[in-house]
Amino acid sequence: MGTYKDQGIVLRTWKLGETDRILSLLTAGHGKVRAVAKGVRRPGSRFGGRLEPYSLVDLELYEGRNLDGVNQAELVAPHANVRTDFVRSGCAAVMVEVVDSVAQEGQRDPRLYLLLKSALDALEAQPPDPTVFLDAFLIRAAASQGFPMRSETCVACGEPGPHPYLSVVRGGALCVQDATPGTKAVQPEVAALLSLLASDRWSDLGAVTVDAPGRSVAASYVRAFAEHHLDRTLRGYDMVPR
């Protein structure tokens, strides 16, 4: 059986037998990988504490028939602050829920990998409102899978915005002329926030000042957009305090 080296983020873990653990990993070079870490639950394991959810690790793995195996694991970024805070860990749980459902085993997806890595780094920095980073991640994850949200122009006619109407199904903003009956208008600050969430400007998210009602409207749209276009129900989203 061959061995290979890669860097990966631990998405989920499951107990196996008395001392082993199954890992779901998103790797930089091999996409999603499911692997067994033997003996990691045994007292004194040499790398058990390095394979916690949300940790970024350098790995040496060997190819297996059904599951690969972990030979070595070295911590790059433990993201301990994410795991020890209820809100941040809730946000991270939804992020890995999405990644684990859309990533394909053995298919490299650099955009999704870098997106998750950046999002976890942002949560590790202890932002004042972690949920903003969760919503940004969801919009950007949809874009990474081929479903970008268009906020700067009308999705129907292409007229430059900003526009007051939003459509989940059509994928973004609609001008007054193209808004269908029943489509609700949003406040300008909500439209501006959604544009920021869809951008790649992680550093600007820490300074969001939209009031609670506006954040709630934006969050509802983000969730509906992600669930519709990724064809997934976000089971952990309601568990995140807001």
pLDDT in tens, the chain (242 residues): 689 999 999 999 998 888 889 999 999 999 999 999 988 888 777 777 789 999 999 999 999 888 999 999 999 999 999 999 999 999 999 999 999 999 999 899 999 999 999 999 999 999 999 999 999 999 999 999 999 999 889 999 999 988 989 999 999 999 999 998 878 889 999 999 999 999 888 888 888 888 889 999 999 999 999 999 999 999 999 999 88
The Cα 225–Cα 210 span in angstroms is: 20
> What type of residue is 203?
S
pTM of structure: 0.92
**In this structure, what token pair is assigned to residue 42?**
């045994």
